Structure 1
Amino acid sequence: MKKFLKITAAIVILLLICYFGFFKFRQMQANNISIPVSVNSVLKINVDELYKTLALSYLKHPGQYSDTDKKGIKEKVDDLNTGLKIPANIYIYSLKGKAKTTFYSSFEIADSLAFIRFISKNAPLKLIKKDDHFFQSQDSTINVLYNKTTVALAYSPQRESVKTILTEILSLKNMVKIGDSKFSNLRNLSDHVSFQNAENLSKINFTDGKISFRNEFINKLIEPATQPQHRALNPENTVNMWLNAKYKTDLKQKNQTGSTSFLSKYNFLKFYKDYVDFEWTNTITQVDTIVGYEYNDDFERVEKKILKDRKIPSISINISADDREVSDYLKSLDFLDQSTGKISRMMIPLYQTYFKGNNGNVQLSTMQSIKPDPKRISSEDFFYFKVDFEKMFKQMSIPFITENLRSFSQLEIKAKSIGKNKIKLESELLFLNKDANALIQLLKAFRNGLQSQLNLKSSLDISINK
């Protein structure tokens, strides 16, 4: 029995070594690619890591996936019979001197006959032959150039001329190994998707029920507080947000366009000092006056005012600002009722909003009785945002937003300073379904949304034709 167990263990270990060795070899091959020397940004898609994550998710929750979802990315591409060899990592890049939205990539051709058949007849988007070994989409945004072993592709919404660059990619002219370029650190990242340019390094991962996003970037707009603080907001709120930072002087100077609204960019930057927070606690009832008209006994048209209850968000915004200066500004425009604190609907038309100001703090709120609490607590983050979609949709009926965000349960974003002019941002987007992989859910939501739009368009076309 012991001998059998030893043999079994040895076989399992050998299989694991082969498994990880296979993926390691594929990674080494994929990371040995060359890119143009003029590359200024690179997007890396880690196909093998995505495949392993999706496979593990299926093993854990097989009931969450249909037959079409059970296949990995590589299998789905293989089903198209493109004739291409799908590497462990796909690198997509943009170039200096070209539009920022023009992207390039290249792939090895595994089966030239299958590849030619695919681009000639079976591609999802019709491609037209323009020259020997050169195809374009009808709108010229997609360009394909190939030789016996490799295909180079370009996507250019601006319809730039890209054939010369594609030719250089195929001939390996003006190219450098990615390991010898300034993007060499991307090779060792195991994240599902990563992106790097001169100012950003972003990473995205798709796990069961969650999308995680990390971004380190150069900050040109704000000066985060050295020791961030914020008011203690209730974590059970529908929406919470705070920002403890100053806007740079040159940004204020660029926004010198006058506006009467206090919440306009111009006035916000004019009065704002170094702190703002926002909280949506629940839903309240606000009484609105609706003006209508009716005819009296003498058939004269007279005005009639009707009081109507309306459910609105209980919102409060607190801003570090000179409260007397803001109050005087609102009074000068006759936008503030000093006896009640009401702000004119001409300034904030959506909800009845109330003004309070004291000790360098300005509060705008849909609740008249609420009092601002100036006490603050320390935090590592100078920025925080959280929204509970489930609570939001229960409290408010917003058809368009509900339709597009109904798959999500929560979004949380944090940002901290990690050096001079450098910020680290972390966010998580949670799904209602915690068992299915987030990428699969996202693709399903996109597909269903696209299908709904097509159905709506079809219905409108039928109505118009009638």
Structure 2
Amino acid sequence: MNKKKIIVPLFLLLAVAVYFIAFHKDKSLQYIPDSADAVVLIDTKKLTGQYLFSLVTHPSKWSGRKAKSKSSGSLKDSGIRIPDFLQIFHIKGTKFTEWYSVLELKDSQKFITYLKKQNFVAKGNNLFQKDQFFFMINGNHCIAGTSDLAFETLQKRLLQNSVHHVWEADRFIQNTVGSISFISGQKIRNFSIELKEDEIEINNNSNPEILNMIASKAEKGNHFLELELDKENIRNFTRFFKKSIADSSQITSLKAAADLRQINDTIVTYEYDDNFNEVERKTVQKITQPSYMIDILSNDPEKTWQYFQSEKWINNENQFTAIPFQPNKIAQNNKGVTIKSTRNPISLPSRLKQNYIIIRNNALLYSSLKMLSNSEKKIISDIDYVLYGNKAQNYWVKIKAKKGELPLLLRW
């Protein structure tokens, strides 16, 4: 038999198999409710492709990979059917911290076993919880979330009711590893998520030169936190707290900087000796507190001051109590209001007349977060800075990691 007649069909079959395994994607998004106002999509095939490419191009990782404990199990063998697009959504009217996802299961019993190996606690009715994460098994589906408040509603609307809107992935994502989209009626605003060698970028503009200019200026500072926001950005951020601060207070812009410092805090307690005499005990512990300076510009400084007073944010000692880190002092001037910590005061850098927030890494930050696991602390310690920038309708977030021998996908 002619070998060419065998090789050509085999090659075509291989090409078709590779296409369906690596490139063909089911773009029907069946598990996003009509009440969603924000959607995060992860292209799992593209992410897997990036991971494999990183692995192939870094041979040092081939023999250095840590074998996972058999007792903990692996996600690959957990009984989950990995979707082409992982769909994570936020429901309108719920807390900002509440996010949900619906997953298909190949084997629900195997997934329950996996959850138990990951130390999830059974709460009854196929509900499992570990810290702030919840999973509910419903037949061949699983509802996951950072809360369980909407689980019952999602079961009725997505799993029991076959009549609901099925979105198309192309409305949210365009050839990137992920996307974040905000839905308002018929309008959808998409932000791409790009995973690079040592950084993650989220933006809604394919030409980042506008925001690179902001980054080049902001990166030159040295404070733990620096920010500069105009009225529109203040309005956008305070929406998360359901406050109309920018409109009610006449604030036009905000400039702030902060550094972290470790101080000794003395705790006084009282005990009784064997003779029932009161004995004072002093304990000294180290705590992390910020030193900060905030400069608020206002159209009407008097109205700004009155607004803060009406919210009961200024006490009799002229301290701004809306900031929990005390002591501080608030003062009014002819341009606005300033707030500064009285312990280890700092000075503000000059205004850049740009909208940005930059948070630089600091060992005092993640060492004080005792609720984090060692792996989570390692990820945070690997970050160099997080930068937000805005100009007109262009928005950008960059998570910059420290330079390393391996790309982020192989480090994290």
Q: Same fold (TM over 0.5)?
A: yes
1:144 aligns with 2:139: yes
- What residue is the counterpart of 2:175 in the other structure? 190
Aligned to 1:209: 198
Residues of 2 paired with 1:96 and 1:50: CA distance? 26
After superposition, where does 1:11-410 map in structure 2 within 5 Å?
24-26=19-21, 29-31=24-26, 33=28, 35=30, 39=34, 43-63=40-60, 66-68=65-67, 79=77, 82=79, 86=82, 89-92=84-87, 103-106=101-104, 115=106, 118-121=107-110, 123-125=113-115, 137=126, 141-145=136-140, 153-155=142-144, 157=148, 158-160=150-152, 162=155, 165-166=158-159, 174=163, 181=167, 183-186=169-172, 189-196=174-181, 198-199=183-184, 200-214=189-203, 235-246=221-232, 270-280=248-258, 313-321=290-298, 322-323=300-301, 335=316, 343-344=318-319, 350-366=325-341, 376-379=351-354, 382=355, 384-389=356-361, 392-393=362-363, 398=368, 400=370, 404=377, 405-410=380-385
CA pair 142-196 structure 1, distance change in 2 beyond 3 A: farther
Contact 1:278 1:316 in 2 (8 A): yes
Deviation at 1:398, TM superposition (A): 3.3
Contact 2:290-2:325 at 8 Å conserved across structures = no
Cα distance in 2 for residues equivalent to 1:184 and 1:233: 35
Residue 207 of structure 1 deviates from its aligned partner by: 3.4
The alpha-carbon deviation at position 352 of structure 1 amounts to: 4.0
Q: Which consecutive residues of structure 1, in runs of 5 or more, have no partner in the other structure? A: 1-14, 70-75, 108-114, 127-135, 146-151, 217-227, 256-264, 294-300, 302-309, 337-342, 419-423, 443-466
Instruction: Assess if the C-alpha contact under 8 Å between 1:335 and 1:347 holds in 2.
Output: no
Which residue number in structure 1 is paired with residue 387 of structure 2?
Answer: 412
Question: RMSD of the alignment, in Å?
Answer: 5.6
- Taking only the aligned residue pairs, the percentage that are identical comes to 14
Aligned-residue offset at 1:432 = 3.7
What do residues 85-132 of structure 1 show as CA deviations (whole Å, max 9, x unaligned)? x56x2353779999985643558xxxxxxx5xx434574137xxxxxx
The answer (yes or no) to whether the contact 1:153–1:166 under 8 Å persists in 2 is no
SS of residue in 2 equivalent to 1:124: helix
TM-superposed CA distance for 1:21, in Å, is 7.5
**Alpha carbons 2:143, 2:151 under 8 Å: kept:** no
* TM-score normalised by structure 1 residue count: 0.51
Deviation at 1:63, TM superposition (A): 3.5
Give me the whole-angstrom Cα distance separating, in 2, the residues matched to 1:245 and 1:205: 29
**Cα gap change, 1:335 to 1:18, in 2 (>3 Å):** farther
The CA deviation at 1:273 is 1.6
Rounded to whole Å, the distance in 2 between the matches of 1:396 and 1:47 is: 29
CA–CA distance in 2 between the matches of 1:37 and 1:345? Answer: 42
1:29 deviation in Å? 3.5
Deviations 1:307-359 (A, max 9, x none): xxx996442110013445667988x98845xxxxxx45978774443455443
The 1:317/1:274 distance shift into structure 2, 3 A limit, reads same
1:30 and 1:427 map into 2 onto residues whose CA distance is 28
CA contact (8 A) 1:39 1:93 kept: no
Distance in 2, matches of 1:267 and 1:175, equals 38
Label 1:429 to 1:23 Cα distance change in 2 as closer, same or farther (>3 A): farther
The residue type paired with residue 171 of structure 2 is N
Whether 1:431 and 2:398 are equivalent positions in the alignment is no
Structure 2 residue matching 1:359: 3-state secondary structure: coil
Separation (CA, whole Å) in 2 of partners of 1:349 and 1:197: 31
Number of matched pairs: 330
From the superposition, tell whether residues 369 and 48 of structure 1 become closer, same or farther in structure 2 (CA, over 3 Å): closer
CA distance in structure 1 between the aligned counterparts of 2:250 and 2:40, rounded to whole angstroms: 37
- Local SS of the residue matching 1:48: helix
Q: Deviations over 1:142-178 (max 9, x none)?
A: 2233xxxxxx55447344273795477xxxx6588x7
CA contact (8 A) 1:38 1:95 kept: no
Read off the aligned partner of 1:400 and give its amino acid letter. K
- Distance change in 2, residues 1:210/1:233 (3 Å): closer
Measure how far apart 1:58 and its partner are. 2.1
| Contact 1:239-1:280 within 8 A present in 2 as well | yes
1:133 aligns to what?
none
- Which residue identity does 1:119 align to in structure 2? S
Q: Which has the larger radius of gyration?
A: 1
Matched AA of 1:213: I
- Paired residue type of 2:335: G
State the SS of the aligned residue for 2:251: coil
Cα 1:120–1:363 shift into 2, 3 Å = closer
Quick one: distance in 2 between partners of 1:96 and 1:326? 34
Q: Cα distance, 1:55 vs. partner? A: 1.9
Please report the TM-score for the alignment, with normalisation by the length of structure 2: 0.57
Q: In 2, distance between residues paired with 1:291 and 1:164?
A: 55
Contact 1:284 1:314 in 2 (8 A): no
SS across alignment from 2:115: coil
Query: Matches of 2:289 and 2:67 in 1, distance apart?
Result: 43
